[in-house]
Structure 1
Amino acid sequence: MQQQALEIKKDICIEEMERWHSISYARADLGKKHDFHSRLQQVSRIEEELEELNERIKKLEEQKKRVLSLLDRFQGIEHKILKKKYVDGMTLQEIAYDLGYSEQYIRKKHAECIKRIKFIS
């Protein structure tokens, strides 16, 4: 979910950058009241933001790969809990409801999984 938000922000930055320095004067509506130097500064700022967003997206993808490889070490209910929590972004309460278990049971199983992960690491 966080990655999707970053992708949307990235798209907005690209759109804004085009509006600052488009060849078409009608398209460059953000830069109409600014001189060329100011427009270049704005584009440069947006390019830096895009670079930062790309780095964050790359880190999230790497984290996701590590999480998925860890998930493969678990089976059954434990695998389902961890996938729903760390891949799908669900809360333990939502997971309990979704899987038809009590929230207390899911919390206990999750805690056991975390202990095993810490032991493995």
Structure 2
Amino acid sequence: MHHNGSKLVGSAQLRRKDSLLQHGSVILDQKQDAMAYALGLGSFAKTKENQEHSESQTALASKRHACLKDLVEVDRTSLEEAIGFGFSKVFDCTFSVYDLTFEEWQVVDSLKSDPEKYRV
């Protein structure tokens, strides 16, 4: 989803036989130079030429992405509730919110401990 040429929502789908996995991201409120840094376009260049290139890439990344808060005043909780409501309505389902069990936290910790596969 785009607004005035800037990406607001990113999403992708994966189809396998009778299944569909939909995943996406909504940037609620973020400094766009942080996005450039995350994409490796940050201003850490050592030479002036590389610095200028890096700055232009950072500016480009800032123009390519938009935050939801740039368009409408919304907080995270309201956004989560709206997305949950929309999914419930469209897919005729209900969602439950619960804390992770001790065993689930152990799985999380084991995944976090593998720096080759996951970074936190």
Q: TM-score range with shorter-chain normalisation?
A: 0.3 to 0.5
Higher strand share: 2
> How does the TM-score come out when normalised to structure 1?
0.32
> How does the TM-score come out when normalised to structure 2?
0.32
Higher helix share: 1
